[in-house]
Amino acid sequence: MYDVAIVGAGIIGACVARKLSGYAIKTVVIEKDSDVGTGCTRANSGIVHGGYDAKPGSLKAKYNVLGQKMYDRLAKELRFPFKRNGSLVIAFDEKDIPRLEQLKEQGVENGLLDLRIAHKDELKELEPNLSENVYAALVVPAGGIVSPYEMAIAFAENAAQNGVEFMLDSEATSIDKKDGYFLISTPKGKVEARIIVNAAGEHSDEINNMLSEHKLKIIPRSGEYCLIDRTEGGLVKHTVFQLPTKMGKGILVTPTAEGNLLIGPTSADIEEKGNTATTMQGLGEVLEKARLSVKRVPINKIITSFCGLRPRTELDEFIIEEAKDVPGLINLCGIESPGLTAAPAIAEEVGRMIAERLNPAENKGFDPIRKITAPFRDMTGDERRAAIKENPDYGHIICRCETVTKAEIIAALRSPLPVRSLDAIKRRTRAGMGRCQAGFCSMRLLDIIAEECGISITDVTKSGGGSNILIERNKTSI
Partner 1 sequence: MQKEIICISCPMGCRMSVTLDAGKVSQVTGATCKKGVDYAELECTNPMRIVTSTVPLSGSPLNTLPVKTQHAIPKDKIMDCVRSLKGITAKAPVAAGDIIVENVCGIGVNIVATRSSV
Partner 2 sequence: MMKIDVAIIGGGPAGLAAAIGARRAGIQNVLILEREAYLGGILNQCIHNGFGLHTFKEELTGPEYAERYVLQIEEMGIPYMLNTMVLNITRDKKITAANSGGLLEIEAGAVILAMGCRERPRGALNIPGTRPVGVYTAGTAQKYVNLDGYMPGKEVVVLGSGDIGLIMARRLTFEGAKVRAVIELMPYSGGLKRNIVQCLDDYGIPLKLSHTVTEIKGAPRLAGVTVAQVDENRKPIPGTEEYIPCDTLLLSVGLIPENELSKSADVLLSDITGGAVVNERLETNVEGIFSCGNVLHVHDLVDFVSEESERAGENAAQYVRGEHLSNKDGGGVRLLATNGVRYTVPFTIDPRNVKDKVDVRFRVDNVYRDKYVSVYFGDEREQRRRRMILTPGEMETVVIKKEMFLKYPGVKTITVTIEE
Binding site for partner 1 (CB under 8 A): 473-475, 478
Residue pair 143/239 in contact by the 8 Å Cβ criterion = yes
Work out whether 389 is an interface residue with partner 2 (CB under 8 A). yes
Of the residues 49, 203, 214, 396, only one is catalytic, namely 49
Query: Of these, 129, 185, 279, 363, which contacts partner 2 (CB under 8 A)?
Result: 279
Residue pair 52/86 in contact by the 8 Å Cβ criterion = no
Minimal distance in Å, beta carbon 259 to partner 2?
Answer: 14
Q: What are the distances in angstroms from CA 469 to CA 158, 236, 421, 465?
A: 30, 37, 10, 11
Work out whether 174 is an interface residue with partner 2 (CB under 8 A). no
The partner in contact with residue 283, picked from partner 1, partner 2, none with C-beta cut-offs of 5 to 8 angstroms by kind, is partner 2
Work out whether 271 is an interface residue with partner 2 (CB under 8 A). no
Closer to partner 1 at the Cβ: 454 or 466? 454
d(CA 59, CA 93): 32
Phi and psi, residue 188, nearest 5°? -100, 15
Query: Of these, 396, 411, 416, 459, which contacts partner 2 (CB under 8 A)?
Result: 396
Q: Which stretch binds partner 2 (CB under 8 A): 62-70, 144-152, 244-252, 434-442?
A: 434-442
The partner in contact with residue 227, picked from partner 1, partner 2, none with C-beta cut-offs of 5 to 8 angstroms by kind, is partner 2
The partner in contact with residue 279, picked from partner 2, partner 1, none with C-beta cut-offs of 5 to 8 angstroms by kind, is partner 2
The partner in contact with residue 435, picked from partner 1, partner 2, none with C-beta cut-offs of 5 to 8 angstroms by kind, is partner 2
Closer to partner 2 at the Cβ: 260 or 293? 260
The partner in contact with residue 466, picked from partner 2, partner 1, none with C-beta cut-offs of 5 to 8 angstroms by kind, is partner 2
d(CA 343, CA 363): 22
The partner in contact with residue 305, picked from partner 2, partner 1, none with C-beta cut-offs of 5 to 8 angstroms by kind, is partner 2
Residues 292-321, interacting with partner 2 (CB under 8 A):
299-300, 302-306
Chain centroid, CA 61 distance in Å: 19
Neighbours of 222 (CB within 10 A): 22
Among residues 425, 463, 346, which one has the least CA distance to residue 150? 425
Catalytic, 49? Answer yes
Work out whether 438 is an interface residue with partner 2 (CB under 8 A). yes
The partner in contact with residue 177, picked from partner 2, partner 1, none with C-beta cut-offs of 5 to 8 angstroms by kind, is none
Minimal distance in Å, beta carbon 377 to partner 2?
Answer: 10
Phi and psi, residue 452, nearest 5°? -65, -40
d(CA 391, CA 393): 5
Task: Say which residues have a Cβ less than 8 Å from residue 239's Cβ, sequence separation at least 6.
Answer: 45, 47, 85, 86, 87, 88, 143, 145, 252, 253, 254, 255
Query: Of these, 393, 411, 452, 459, which contacts partner 2 (CB under 8 A)?
Result: 393
Among residues 132, 200, 149, which one has the least CA distance to residue 38? 149
The partner in contact with residue 465, picked from partner 1, partner 2, none with C-beta cut-offs of 5 to 8 angstroms by kind, is partner 2
SS3 track for 315-358: CCCCEEEECCCCCCEEEEECCCCCHHHHHHHHHHHHHHHHHHHH
Work out whether 277 is an interface residue with partner 2 (CB under 8 A). yes
Closer to partner 1 at the Cβ: 92 or 440? 440
Residues 442-461, interacting with partner 2 (CB under 8 A):
442-443, 446-447, 457-458, 461
Work out whether 119 is an interface residue with partner 2 (CB under 8 A). no
Minimal distance in Å, beta carbon 449 to partner 2?
Answer: 13
Work out whether 58 is an interface residue with partner 2 (CB under 8 A). no
Residues 237-266, interacting with partner 2 (CB under 8 A):
none
Could you tell me how many residues of this chain bind partner 2 (CB under 8 A)?
Answer: 62
Work out whether 404 is an interface residue with partner 2 (CB under 8 A). no
Task: Say which residues have a Cβ less than 8 Å from residue 73's Cβ, sequence separation at least 6.
Answer: none
Task: Say which residues have a Cβ less than 8 Å from residue 389's Cβ, sequence separation at least 6.
Answer: none
Minimal distance in Å, beta carbon 401 to partner 1?
Answer: 24
Give just the sign of the alpha carbon dihedral 293, 298, 303, 305: positive
SS3 track for 153-178: HHHHHHHHHCCCEEECCCCCCEEEEC
The partner in contact with residue 282, picked from partner 1, partner 2, none with C-beta cut-offs of 5 to 8 angstroms by kind, is partner 2
Closer to partner 2 at the Cβ: 10 or 432? 432
Binding characters for partner 2, 191-220, by CB under 8 A (x = yes): ------------------------------
**Strand 182-186 to strand 189-198: parallel, antiparallel, or no bridges (unpaired)?**
antiparallel
Task: Say which residues have a Cβ less than 8 Å from residue 4's Cβ, sequence separation at least 6.
Answer: 20, 25, 26, 27, 28, 193, 194, 195, 196, 197, 354, 358
Closer to partner 1 at the Cβ: 215 or 473? 473
Q: At what angle do helices 442-453 and 406-413 cross, to 10 degrees?
A: 50
Work out whether 189 is an interface residue with partner 2 (CB under 8 A). no
Q: Contact residues for partner 2 (CB under 8 A)?
A: 226-227, 274, 276-280, 282-283, 299-300, 302-306, 381, 384-385, 388-389, 392-397, 400-401, 403, 405, 435-440, 442-443, 446-447, 457-458, 461-478
Active-site amino acid positions: 49
